[in-house]
């Protein structure tokens, strides 16, 4: 199921990725890789947000949430803050 996970990730469609992970959850758990697979899902939000910033100079948090299929502007804010914090930590540590 791992190559199909890659293929699903590459579509950029979070709903399809989450559905695929749920469908294959038992296999990922039995391989002790469910945690890594969840990181893959989380990274898709980051990837999709980064793609937006390459296209648009400024977007509202609600626009980001809608475009990358998050539940709320608050959730979009959380993802953006995590991304910024991660980048700052890389630069200064």
Residue 46 structural domain: 2-92
Global pTM value: 0.62
Q: What is the pLDDT of residues 14-69, one digit of tens each?
A: 999 999 999 999 999 999 999 999 999 989 988 888 887 766 667 888 998 998 88
Containing 17, the helix (H) or strand (E) segment is: helix 14-23
Confidence of residue 93 (pLDDT cuts 50, 70, 90): low
Question: Do 59 and 52 touch, CB atoms closer than 8 A?
Answer: yes
65 vs 61: CA distance, rounded Å: 6
The CB-side HSE value for 12 (13 A sphere, CA atoms) comes to: 8
């Amino acid at each position: 199921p791992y190559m199909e996970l890659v293929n699903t990730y590459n579509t950029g469609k979070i709903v399809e990725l989450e559905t695929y992970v749920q469908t294959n959850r038992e296999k990922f758990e039995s391989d002790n890789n469910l945690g890594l697979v969840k990181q893959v899902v989380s990274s898709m939000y980051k990837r999709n947000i980064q793609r937006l910033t390459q296209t648009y100079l400024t977007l509202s948090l609600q626009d980001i949430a809608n475009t990358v299929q998050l539940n709320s502007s608050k959730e979009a804010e959380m993802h953006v803050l995590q991304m910024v914090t991660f980048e700052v930590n890389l630069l200064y540590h």
